[in-house]
A and B are shown apart, each in its own frame.
Chain A
Amino acid sequence: MKKLVLSAVLATASFSALANGPAGCGLGTHVIFKDANEFHEHVLAATTNGTSGNQTFGMTSGTLGCEAADGPLTEGLAMFLNQNLETLAVDVAKGEGETLAALSDLMGIQAQDKATFNTALKANFDSVFASEEVTSTTAYNGIVGVMSKQANLVKYLG
């Protein structure tokens, strides 16, 4: 699995209920074909793919996932933050985007407060994504911190 500097693995048990990611060993591509830029691997990949053409064979992590096929569905905020931190940071910096919209849906923000939510996060980008050491936990705490200062958003913190 490619390490993204920004998306650290959820390290603490601070939301223990949510810490169960999908079991398994990540993306096949990055396990077997360590660097998909190596052209000979592409050749091999295409060859072994045969004219059947399946999923590009090792180019495509999606077909080689080692997911626990029969595990429970993974849901929830921690899981989402874990896997979407980088795209979320981009959306927060702009103040709009699909990932940010998904976050506000997950947090139960109602339509009339979404604009406030987006604006508040954008204005406080530096406190949510303080440094490259950001983890889903620090980001989450940052988001909660921002919301607790907004009259319209406090109610969503339960």
Chain B
Amino acid sequence: MFKLFVFILLIQPCLLVAAAQPFEQSAEKLTQLSKTLYWRHLLHYHKAGLIADSGSQIDDKHFFIAKNGQQNAHAELVATLSLFLSDSPQDLEKQCQYPARLHWLKQQLPELNFNTPSCPEYEKWVSTLNAEQVVLVFPAAYLNSPSSMYGHTLFRLKKKNNNNALLDFAVNYAANADPDDDQLTFSYKGLTGGYPGVVSVMPYYQKVQEYNFLESRDIWEYELNLKQDEVNQFVRHVWEMKSTYMDYYFFTENCSYQLLSLLDASSEALNLTKDFRFRAIPSDTVRALAEEGLIEHAKFRESTLTQLDNMLKQMGDSEINFAKSLVDEVTPNFEKLKNYNETEQAKILDIAYQYSRYLSARKKSTLAHLGARSIKLLSLRSKNSNASVFKPVEQPKVRDDQGHATQRAMFGVGVEEHNHYLTLGYRAAYHEFLDKPQGYLAGAQLEMFDAELRWYQSQSLRLQKIDLLNIRSWSARNALFTPKSWQIKLGVERIAGFNDELLAKLQGGAGITQAVGNHRFSLFANGEFYLGLNSDQKLENSHYLAGGPQLNWLWQTQRFTLLTSYEYLIDVSGESLQQQRADVSLAYHLSENWQARFATNYYSSKQHSQLSASLSLIHYF
């Protein structure tokens, strides 16, 4: 039975005088406390990535009191206790850095004579936040940027006696990137932990501006049912965290992951980070909270573009065109407004204003009069007696965290000319057009690492393809603007007409999309580039380049999805191949995470033509 002060003597002899208060504390008790999950959560000892338990994820040594606190939770516990039991002025000030630790240790060791430090700065901070509830905020994907599908997550702290969310504070965890870095440096550093990730607190309206207005992303807000003492502990821990940093890894230790780790540190009942060792997709982290029963209410906050779509649905074409002319023309005829009734005028002015802001935000406009025109439209609107004239946006029935799961496994049978095969597929992320659309952004597809193995009757197992990246962005036109549609695919594949060799491929193009009800029609100018990987090349120049038009029709309903496409490719690399491809895929959604799929495609060139078909069962997990 050691006494605590013996430990202190061993570790920090300089503190001996300060901490030599007579108290009885068994070594076992301290060892046991230092091993508790909660103490480890307070220090951010988590397993993440490939490295097993390697101490704390916090990379800033100032966060730790003991010299080896980053690696040794027990030493950190003893050092923390000795700090809290000291009353030297220097230590009293330092005690203010660790309110969450102090609170918990007081509960665990009520028999000890803890100081109550006076921390005016911290007290003021806590009373300003005045938090009574923690809300998880999930800005969804946005138009024409499928890569934003992954999303971001942050927290809002609901203030007591305040019912206007804009006036709450937000807690954000982000990589502090160097603005001077170019994109590649940025990407590299992001993947390798080259940026410090920091927790910061700012007014929530700042975040709403950023997402809803600047980027035009809808926001989901999930009220978490933490008890008041858990909320308090969460706030205390944010204080401990906001002056430190963790290396930011886009793969594992990212925003969504570290927000879960903040929650873990707010309650002994939680262990949310345990399932996210290798990847943390924001929507999956929301699911983890839902599974824990932490989400009690979800609220939808629509973006400017969502509002705009909602407005357009409630107006006639002539009104929309008139509204457009009010913005586009240098000297528009405002007198014509009188031809409409009061409510219609309000609608026209609202949509004209939004359109004017859209133009200026998108930098697509060279209209010098835009700023003045925006103000003029609002000025006219203020003379209209109506308040809101549009029916509000309906909250989507399926939330962004309620769609199909993000990983996918596939098993199927197929026939290619006269060869039968079995097929096995795995996709790491995230969503394609043929997957169940509910809970995902319409017209956006983002797939990463999609691999397929085939086992033919005639031969052994072989790799059919690996798509490293497959993005499609089919943003539909509306009455006001025609966004660009684009798509790109990168990977290796055995492509029909090339002797079934494994080729590196890059395919992509740009086009336009028209939506009609739940149909999307798109027309693309597509190009593709193949590169042979084998030394015994059948490709004359070991590479192949072609381009041409592609027509697509996508039809999505509750129960099934149909995707058909036709492509004509003109060879430009001297392989003298004119290729045509036609694909028809029909997906039947058996349930949220199961699907049956039939696909057939026809390939034809001067030398070769073939028809193939497959039937597969797909599971999302």
Chain A interface (Cβ < 8 Å from any Cβ of B): 2, 4-6, 22, 25, 27-29, 31-33, 35-37, 39, 41-70, 72-75, 79-80, 83-84, 86-87, 89-90, 92-96, 98-99, 101-102, 105-106, 122-123, 125-126, 129, 131-132, 134
Contact = CB atoms under 8 A, between A and B. Distances in A.
Contacts of A126: 379, 382
Given A45-B147, A98-B166, A80 B205 contact: yes
Highest count of chain A CB atoms <10 Å: which of B179, B386, B486: B179
Contacts of B242: 69-70
B250 A46 contact: no
B416 to A, nearest CB: 29
Contact of B147 (A2, A56, A73, A87): A56
A28 B388 contact: no
Given A65-B172, A129-B378, A28 B206 contact: no
A106 to B, nearest CB: 7
A66 B166 contact: no
A73 B125 contact: yes
26 contacts: A2-B214, A4-B360, A5-B370, A6-B375, A27-B210, A32-B186, A39-B473, A46-B446, A49-B147, A53-B281, A56-B149, A60-B139, A63-B172, A67-B202, A69-B199, A73-B169, A80-B203, A83-B205, A90-B353, A92-B382, A93-B379, A94-B386, A102-B164, A102-B167, A125-B378, A132-B371
A55 B151 contact: yes
A102 B209 CA distance: 14
Contact of B209 (A45, A87, A95, A132): A87
Contacts of A47: 187, 448, 468-469
A66 B179 contact: yes
Interface string B227-263: 0000000000000001101000111101111000000
Given A36-B145, A55-B282, A93 B382 contact: yes
Contact of B387 (A53, A96, A98, A101): A96
A54 B280 contact: yes
A98 to B, nearest CB: 6
A122 B137 CA distance: 32
Given A32-B181, A37-B144, A94-B381, A84 B374 contact: no
B305 interface: no
Interface string B362-403: 110000001110110011011100111000000000000000
A65 B207 CA distance: 10
B162 interface: yes
A144 B213 CA distance: 27
B202 A22 contact: yes
Given A32-B179, A66-B176, A73-B201, A83 B206 contact: yes
B148 interface: yes
B79 to A, nearest CB: 22
A42 B353 contact: no
Nearest to B427: A51
Nearest to A27: B210
A93 B146 CA distance: 35
Contact of B381 (A5, A37, A70, A93): A93
Contacts of B191: 48, 50
Given A6-B371, A60-B139, A60-B148, A28 B179 contact: yes
Contact of B254 (A22, A43, A52, A131): A52
Contacts, number: 275
B514 to A, nearest CB: 19
A52 B250 contact: yes
A51 B190 contact: no
A122 B148 CA distance: 37
Q: Which 8 A-B pairs have the closest CB atoms?
A: A54-B254, A46-B147, A125-B382, A55-B152, A53-B281, A132-B371, A52-B251, A48-B187
Given A43-B469, A63-B152, A84-B205, 20 more contacts: A32-B181, A39-B484, A42-B146, A43-B471, A43-B488, A51-B279, A56-B151, A57-B150, A62-B139, A62-B154, A64-B174, A67-B200, A70-B242, A73-B125, A73-B128, A87-B213, A92-B382, A96-B388, A98-B164, A125-B378
A43 B256 contact: no
B15 to A, nearest CB: 26
B254 A55 contact: yes
A49 B146 CA distance: 12
Interface string B170-199: 001111110101110011001100000011
A17 B361 CA distance: 31
Contacts of B256: 54-55
B243 A53 contact: no
A57 B446 CA distance: 14
Nearest to A126: B379
A38 to B, nearest CB: 10
B30 interface: no
A53 B284 CA distance: 10
Given A62-B207, A102-B166, A48 B190 contact: yes
B71 to A, nearest CB: 25
A102 B282 contact: no
Highest count of chain A CB atoms <10 Å: which of B125, B378, B428: B378
A48 B387 CA distance: 45
A129 B379 contact: yes
Nearest to B129: A73
A93 B383 CA distance: 8
A32 B362 contact: no
A32 B166 CA distance: 27
